[in-house]
Each structure stands twice: as C-alpha cells, then as structure tokens.
C-alpha cells in the first residue's frame, strides 16, 4: 500500500517529537548532575582553578528534585487481606520487596522519576533464583541528542498516557566482547516479546541463545496474555521533569555568580595606580612583550629610582559586590516560587523563618509530593501485580490474584511523635485492631507476627478472652 504525503509528514512529526522529548530528558539530567554551561574567560578559569565551562556553578536543580525524593519513602507492600487471618499474598509481597532490595530500588525510582519526568521497571522471572525480579531502567535517549543509547519508552494510543499502554520498547548497545557491539531493540506486548537487531536503521529479528521461538510467547498456563512487563512511572501526566521550570533561573544564577566572582576579582580589592612610572620586576623599562611587568600581590613592595616629584602611587578603593549578592538571593527565591521548593531549603541567609512561615512554605511542596506519590504508588502496584502473575505462572505460587495490593508510605508531612502517639491511642480506644496500629507505626508483617507470638501478647489476649467469658456469664 502506498504511503501518502500526509502519512509521511505525520511520521516525520512523530520522529521530531521523539527527538525533542529525548533532548528534554538529556537536558534535565545534565542540569541535575550540575553539567551546566557557564562560559568564563581564561582569567576566570585560572582564578577559579576550573578546567571547563561545566565545572563552576551553583546547582539548585539537584535540590529541587531531592526535596521531593526524600519525602517519597515506601515502607513496603500490603494487601486487603484480613489482619486477623492468614495473609499469604501479603507475606509473599513483603518477602519479594526484601528480595529485590526494595529499600534501595526505590531510591532509583523515586529520584529518577521526578528528575527525568518518567522512569521504568522491568519485571521478569529469575529462573535461577526462582522468583520475580525488578530491574530499573531510565528513559531511552539517543547518542545523537547527547544520550546514552539505553533505556525504555512507553507507547500509548494517540500518545495519550491516560489510555492503556499498547506496548513498550527497550533499546541498548550489547557488548559482544573483543570490542564488538550491536544495537538491540526489544518490543514488549501483552502476549509476546519481539527481539531485534538494529542494522543501518533497519530491524532484523533476533533470537537469543535459549529462545524457543520468535517472537517469544508471553502467556500464562491457560494461554492468556501475562501483560506488558515494563512498568511506566510518570512524574506528571505529561512526563514533565521537575527541574524544567527551574532551568531558566538556574542559568541566571550561574551568570550572576560568575559576575559576582569576576567583580570581586577585579574591583572588590584595592587597586594601585602608578603615575609617572611603570613598575617592572627588574626595574628596567617595560619590555614590548610585557614579560617583565609586575603583578601586584599582598605584601609586595614597589620601588622606583624616580623622585617623588616625578612619580606617584595612588589607590582606587574596592567596589561593592553586595548588589550582586542581593540579585543572586532574589534569583534563588524565584526558583523556590516556580518549583514549589521551600525557600528555607534554598536560602543561605542568617535569618531563620518563623514556624508559621515555614509551614506555609511547605504546603506547596507537600501538595506536589502527594500528587507524585499517587502516580508512583500506582506504578509499584503494577510491579507487584505483574510479579504475582509470574510467580503463579513460572513458580506455581498459587497466589490469589483477586487480592488487592497496595504500598505503605511514610507520611509526606513529618509529624510530632507526641501527636502520633495521641492518634494511635485514640484509635485503640475506638477499637481499631492492634495489628492495624502496629502496621501504621511501620512494623512489617513478619515483625507483627513475631510480636503476636510473644508471651506478653499471648498473656494479654488470654486475659481479654477470660474477661469476655465473664461478661457472657
């Protein structure tokens, strides 16, 4: 079937959109890492002892991401299974969270998702360990736009992430040893995995050693699709990097910082002016190439054979750099405004904000973190749901797939310990099960089971049962 001009134009538009997206991710990563263009003169590079234009900046972008990541702390998975009965799915999920090093894995997810705007976790079956595994992957960026030629991409109908994902892709450069490499591409569909080698921009089907067929079937024992094993974590509906709005002020901050240091270098100290004579290192007239010109240094003594009537030495007082300092503080304040980052986390002044002011500054951050937490929570739930399917299909785990899985999080807003104790005390008086209160306190299912088996708990339970028996009598 012939392809018309409208279709070709649409394909070109999609390709340009993809390159623009990749460039945005690369830019966000570079600014987060402090690789920011700061153009300096050779004098400035020498004075600051830096080698290139990326080495000197005041990196605010990293903090914009970290204030979010440090409040996204997942304590682990939970389920809607009854607290008083057996909870095999919850026990399995908690064991898997520890097996995949969830406390460390979440650092990659919770930091990279707001940094890049999106992130991925591939859930597959580890035959050697006999359990599912979760492997973090960044968003794919091509080397032609400054990327690393590695990562995943989610493909949605009409490029709309609010619709169910159609398929996911992963691209990377495979090391074949002895200096040989090849470009790889995997496409993950709900019912199959297609593997390709990329040669000259063309795709050639590829079977890895041990693959039974091409494409690889991805179905359960009943022949039903297992689903796409690539889980997409989104920072915002449009996958917006958290630092995006801060990049403009960040450039201005770096420029102002260079101006500040340059001003200090040239005018912030007293400048000496020789009248009627030119200071030289050897006392001889200044050479044409300036090789014997004197560089003024602290404690240096200048002298000349001319009389005081023929020569003079005057001083120009130092300039004031405070306006530049005030400008920089103002620019940092604008970063706080556009990124909902508490100004107290960015400010380096000696003034300490009042408690009410700090609370007001934090409200925007808390609201933003809660939004990010909801989307990331949904991603973790999909990870565990996929892992459960794999455990049932390849490990015969027999886990009930109707049981709902969720994540337990530390509170976004830090609370006073006394306030928490009061809340738990009230819940206990209202009859909330002790196991539920323990769970809210951050204890895992295994820890709760150990506490329930403790002699003290069993004695209290026996006393309660005796009391209930007396009331019935």
User: Tell me, what's the pLDDT at 471?
Assistant: 47
User: Tell me, what's the pLDDT at 299?
Assistant: 57
Tokens 């389920």 belong to which residue?
A: 79
Where are the domains positioned within the chain? 417-473
pLDDT digits (tens, 9 = 90+) for 256-282: 888 887 777 666 566 667 777 777 777
Q: How many CB atoms lie within 10 A of CB 284?
A: 8
CA angle 18-24-29, nearest 5°?
A: 130
Tokens for 434, please give them. Answer: 């002790």
User: Tell me, what's the pLDDT at 430?
Assistant: 79
DSSP, collapsed to helix, strand or coil, labels residue 127 as coil
d(CA 410, CA 115): 21
Residue from 324, 326, 331, 330 nearest 246 by CA: 331
Tokens for 73, please give them. Answer: 């702390």
pTM to 2 decimals? Answer: 0.77
Residue pair 216/195 in contact (Cβ under 8 Å)? The answer is: yes
Residues of the chain with pLDDT under 70: 1-14, 40-41, 43-55, 83-85, 265-272, 296-303, 305, 313, 315-319, 347-361, 414-420, 439-447, 449-450, 460-473
| H or E element in which residue 47 lies | helix 42-48
Strands 271-275 and 131-137: unpaired
Residue pair 152/169 in contact (Cβ under 8 Å)? The answer is: yes
């Amino acid at each position: 079937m012939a392809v018309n001009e409208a279709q070709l134009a649409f394909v070109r538009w999609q390709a340009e959109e993809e390159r623009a997206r990749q460039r945005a991710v690369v830019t966000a990563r570079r600014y987060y890492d402090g690789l920011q263009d700061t153009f300096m003169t050779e004098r400035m590079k020498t004075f600051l002892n830096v080698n290139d234009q990326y080495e000197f900046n005041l990196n605010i972008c990293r903090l914009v991401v970290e204030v979010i990541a440090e409040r996204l702390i997942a304590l682990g998975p939970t389920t809607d299974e009854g607290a008083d009965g057996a909870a095999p799915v919850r026990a399995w999920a908690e064991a898997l969270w520890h097996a995949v090093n969830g406390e460390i894995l979440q650092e990659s997810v919770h930091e990279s998702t707001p940094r890049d705007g999106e992130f991925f976790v591939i859930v597959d079956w580890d035959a050697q360990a006999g359990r599912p595994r979760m492997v973090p992957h960044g968003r794919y960026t091509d080397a032609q736009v400054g990327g690393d030629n590695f990562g995943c991409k989610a493909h949605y109908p009409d490029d709309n992430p609010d619709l169910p994902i159609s398929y996911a892709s992963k691209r990377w450069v495979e090391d074949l040893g002895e200096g040989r490499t090849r470009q790889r591409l995997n496409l993950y569909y709900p019912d199959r995995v297609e593997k390709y080698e990329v040669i000259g921009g063309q795709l050639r089907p590829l079977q890895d050693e041990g693959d039974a067929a091409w494409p690889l079937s991805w179905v359960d024992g009943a022949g039903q699709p297992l689903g796409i094993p690539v889980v997409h974590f989104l920072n915002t509906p449009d996958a917006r990097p958290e630092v995006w709005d801060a990049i403009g002020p960040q450039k201005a901050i770096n420029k102002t910082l260079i101006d500040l240091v340059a001003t200090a270098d040239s005018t912030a100290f007293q400048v000496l002016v020789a009248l009627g004579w030119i200071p030289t290192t050897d006392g001889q007239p200044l050479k044409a190439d300036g090789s014997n010109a004197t560089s003024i240094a602290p404690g240096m003594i200048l002298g000349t054979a001319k009389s005081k009537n023929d020569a003079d030495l005057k001083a120009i007082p130092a300039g004031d750099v405070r306006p530049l300092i005030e400008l920089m503080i103002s620019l940092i304040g604008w970063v706080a405004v556009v990124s909902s980052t508490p100004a107290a986390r960015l400010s380096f002044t000696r003034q300490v904000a009042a408690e009410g002011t700090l609370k007001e500054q934090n409200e925007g951050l808390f609201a933003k973190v809660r939004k990010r937490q909801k989307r990331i929570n949904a991603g973790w739930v999909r990870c565990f749901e996929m892992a459960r399917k794999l455990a049932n299909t390849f490990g015969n785990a027999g886990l009930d797939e109707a049981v709902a899985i969720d994540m337990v999080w530390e509170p976004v807003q830090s609370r006073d310990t006394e306030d928490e104790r009061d809340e738990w005390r009230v819940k206990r008086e209202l009859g909330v099960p002790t196991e539920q209160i323990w769970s809210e306190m951050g204890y895992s299912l295994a820890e709760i089971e150990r506490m329930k088996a403790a002699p003290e708990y069993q004695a209290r339970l026996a006393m309660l049962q005796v009391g209930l028996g007396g009331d019935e009598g």
